Structure 1
Amino acid sequence: MGSNRYLVLISDTHQTCGVEEFSRLLAARFEARAVTHRLDFNLPNLFRSLKGVDGLVVNFPVVAWKKKLLEPLLAACTARLSGKGVHVILHEWSALDWKRRLVLSPVVLLATELCFSAPEIEAEFESTGLAKIATGNRTVIPIPPNLSPPEKLIPGAFAEKLRSERANGRLIIGQFGSIYPQKQVSSVLSVAADLKKRGTDVFVAFVGSFIKGLDNVEEDFFAAVKNEGLSGQVAVSGFIGSEEELFAIFQEVDVFCYLLPGGLTARRGSVLTAAASGKPVVVNAPSSRTALAHHSLFQRLIETGSIQLVPTDAGIPATADAVLTAQGKDIGPSDIASEVDRLWDDVIIRMDHRAG
């Protein structure tokens, strides 16, 4: 491992998203070589922290971005003026609102290194004019899962609800992660409706919460539930802050199902976490053969059958067939903890190498 010291910016939110969790875990994996600074506009503390490091690490997009973007910009400017590195990790690009990309751009231009969460994100960025003037020091890093199965499970009310539904003979189809339009949660509702028409008693569990934004996400979601004839057969857990409670919920799911725009990519951390639970995950295949080439854990989970791929453009009936086939299917063993450790080692080695 290298000797570079890093300051990792994190937010002060309690309901963390995947990007925020990655920021905190990255700092922890660097151990003594990293310190964190919360985006609370304590500028004296920020400037003191920057003095003792070789580089600044910023993950985008950040939580509460409208309130939190001035401080990363000040930090990046200070780091560059001090001759330090600025390492920007982009987890999304084209999927972000154009106004969000606009205000992220100054920090991106100050970067001495750009890391991308997947080859698709790198390609999206490189197709823009911004790429022509940003640093050419770029790399793709594998994003490890933010959550791992705990030693002990603590069932909460939502897990008990699913257990009750299973006891009544229902097939529990699950999705883990935040609920937002681009995830096309309506397609999973369509899969459940298709199975219901075939005579399968289904229940759909969404383990996560709604993304608040300009769209009427929650209203549109429940309108889709009603339109699919699934009223009373769908439940949303809301934010779950405990790994012990979260993985207890996962144990009550029969099959996880995702139909993603363009197919599976390495930035779908929710798919990775669901598969790490030991339950089968049905998802449409990547549109590119190289999409997962850099990510050993995704490849391993596909090999063991934890992740079961349907064609990228699979329709609802074919996906419903795959869900039925996956139900109760034996999944090969996989040492998730060791694979996760290897991924983190890979991330840190790549960052140290590019910084050096």
Structure 2
Amino acid sequence: MAEKPRYRALFLGAGPQMHCGVGQFTCLLQQTIEKIEPGASTALTLTQTDGTIAETWRAVGSADSVVCNFPIVAWKRVILRPLLALLFARLRRRKVVLIQHEWAGLNGIRRLTYIPALWLANTIVMFSPLVRRELADDPIMRGMVRKCVLAPLPPNIAAPANTADSMLLQRLVAARSDGQLVIGHFGSIYPGKQPNGLLEIGAILKQRDLRPLIVYVGSFIRGVENIEQKFHIRVAELGLKSDVIVSGYVASDLEVFGLLSEIDVFCYSLAEGLSARRSSILACVQSGRPLIVTGPALPDEFDHHPRFRELIDRGAILLVPRDADSAAYADQIIAALKRPTAQVPFDFEGWWTDVANAIRAQL
């Protein structure tokens, strides 16, 4: 007689390598599910050296479902092992719950590696109706939409009670004391976030003698688009060499929020518009500073995510029309700075409980 599975869910992870956003999300999700339902889940570490075929087969057999936030760690480090685990799950008649954050915005080569995971999944959890529509518009993968369910995305990091000092923080403090307008952009820097769009807005503000300092709190994602090189070329073309700072990777949440607290206003010019999958937006909002962003492409983008919708309704997130030019963003920045700022209550645990319950419903 076959042994009955002990756990409701097996989470695929990458151990200490999981300091990236994907890995951090998986850890927080499992931790929250364990708070709600102790003993319901376990984890399997898959790296280039951990997770043998035999270990993976046994681990899959110990649970009713396998949950995979693919890729489980930064792209190209661990690809085949989680796919093998998903294949084993299907062979052992376990349910495969795949968490899929993006689609059309992925690099084409990278997207090819995701296709086997979508095929093997019983359920595909997405966080944005826009991403679901992107999948539906894909002529090869549109049939996968029938597997999709929506869940509310929480922020990956919570604002701490205290912050940490840094050399960059002191530079921002000095800039603000000197009357500079500090404009922020938080999160990984890659083409989908249109980082050059903020440069165009900064150039207009500089023409208006507002002395902008544009601060990108994050680092460039390596890829085939030469984004970092193109970014610095555009900085030089716009005459902003002394007006732009890229922090690079910031390891500590205390340091991250120290930097975010010294930013006057955040601004994102997004070709796709604001979507419910943008966790970096949620981190910025916790700083209490105004955030300006392109309006969503779909009218129902936040229907499944009332907490995100509330931030927009309360004015913590200010939307700019999708057809607006850079001058309109500059105008909105100036207008936002004239409004009184107020810290928006942010129930970090509540956000995570929402997504944990949405995932539990699929196990």
TM-score normalised per structure 2: 0.90
Other-structure match for 1:320: 330
CA apart distance, 1:224: 1.1
Q: For 1:162-205, what per-residue CA distance to the aligned partner results, in whole angstroms no more than 9, with x for missing partners?
A: 11111111010010011112211111111111011111111111
Q: For 1:6-63, what per-residue CA distance to the aligned partner results, in whole angstroms no more than 9, with x for missing partners?
A: 1111234657443222111111111132222222142244333323211111113443
Which of 105, 109, 112 is the equivalent residue of 2:115? 105
Alpha-carbon separation, structure 2, partners of 1:151 and 1:132: 45
> Equivalent residues in 2 for 1:250-329 (5 A)?
250-327=260-337, 329=339
Other-structure match for 1:144: 154
Alpha-carbon separation, structure 2, partners of 1:331 and 1:351: 35
> Equivalent residues in 2 for 1:168-317 (5 A)?
168-317=178-327
Alpha-carbon separation, structure 1, partners of 2:67 and 2:253: 26
Alpha-carbon separation, structure 2, partners of 1:15 and 1:136: 30
Cα pair 1:304 1:331 within 8 Å, conserved: no
Alpha-carbon separation, structure 2, partners of 1:53 and 1:74: 16
After superposition, the Cα gap between the structure-2 partners of 1:264 and 1:47, relative to the gap in structure 1 and judged at 3 Å, is same
Other-structure match for 2:51: 42
After superposition, the Cα gap between the structure-2 partners of 1:183 and 1:348, relative to the gap in structure 1 and judged at 3 Å, is same
SS of corresponding position for 2:288: coil
Task: Give, as a single letter, the amino acid of the residue that structure 2 aligns with 1:348.
Answer: A
Cα pair 1:177 1:209 within 8 Å, conserved: yes
Indicate whether 1:80 and 2:90 are aligned.
yes
Cα pair 2:123 2:148 within 8 Å, conserved: yes
Task: Give, as a single letter, the amino acid of the residue that structure 2 aligns with 1:42.
Answer: G
After superposition, the Cα gap between the structure-2 partners of 1:64 and 1:270, relative to the gap in structure 1 and judged at 3 Å, is closer
Alpha-carbon separation, structure 1, partners of 2:29 and 2:98: 13
- Give unmatched runs, 5+ long, in structure 2: 1-5
Q: For 1:241-276, what per-residue CA distance to the aligned partner results, in whole angstroms no more than 9, with x for missing partners?
A: 111111010111000000001211111111111112
Alpha-carbon separation, structure 2, partners of 1:103 and 1:21: 21
**Corresponding pairs, count:** 351
Indicate whether 1:24 and 2:27 are aligned.
yes
Cα pair 1:28 1:34 within 8 Å, conserved: no
CA apart distance, 1:308: 1.0
Task: Give, as a single letter, the amino acid of the residue that structure 2 aligns with 1:26.
Answer: L
Alpha-carbon separation, structure 1, partners of 2:264 and 2:95: 46
Indicate whether 1:354 and 2:362 are aligned.
yes
Which of 5, 10, 22 is the equivalent residue of 1:7? 10
Cα pair 2:18 2:73 within 8 Å, conserved: no
Alpha-carbon separation, structure 2, partners of 1:49 and 1:328: 56
Task: Give, as a single letter, the amino acid of the residue that structure 1 aligns with 2:41.
Answer: A
Indicate whether 1:63 and 2:73 are aligned.
yes
CA apart distance, 1:324: 1.0
Cα pair 1:86 1:110 within 8 Å, conserved: yes
SS of corresponding position for 1:65: coil
Cα pair 1:19 1:91 within 8 Å, conserved: no
CA apart distance, 1:298: 1.7
Cα pair 1:111 1:135 within 8 Å, conserved: no
Indicate whether 1:33 and 2:33 are aligned.
no
Q: For 1:216-235, what per-residue CA distance to the aligned partner results, in whole angstroms no more than 9, with x for missing partners?
A: 22221111111111111111
SS of corresponding position for 1:66: coil
Other-structure match for 2:353: 345
Cα pair 1:94 1:124 within 8 Å, conserved: yes
TM-score normalised per structure 1: 0.92
Alpha-carbon separation, structure 1, partners of 2:8 and 2:338: 47
Alpha-carbon separation, structure 1, partners of 2:315 and 2:144: 40
Alpha-carbon separation, structure 1, partners of 2:356 and 2:244: 41
After superposition, the Cα gap between the structure-2 partners of 1:249 and 1:280, relative to the gap in structure 1 and judged at 3 Å, is same
- Give unmatched runs, 5+ long, in structure 1: none
After superposition, the Cα gap between the structure-2 partners of 1:289 and 1:135, relative to the gap in structure 1 and judged at 3 Å, is closer
Cα pair 1:170 1:201 within 8 Å, conserved: yes
SS of corresponding position for 2:44: strand
Task: Give, as a single letter, the amino acid of the residue that structure 2 aligns with 1:92.
Answer: E
Indicate whether 1:154 and 2:164 are aligned.
yes
Between stretches 204-213 and 59-68, larger displacement belongs to 59-68
Alpha-carbon separation, structure 2, partners of 1:98 and 1:323: 34
Alpha-carbon separation, structure 1, partners of 2:159 and 2:61: 38
Cα pair 1:250 1:274 within 8 Å, conserved: yes
Cα-Cα RMSD: 2.0
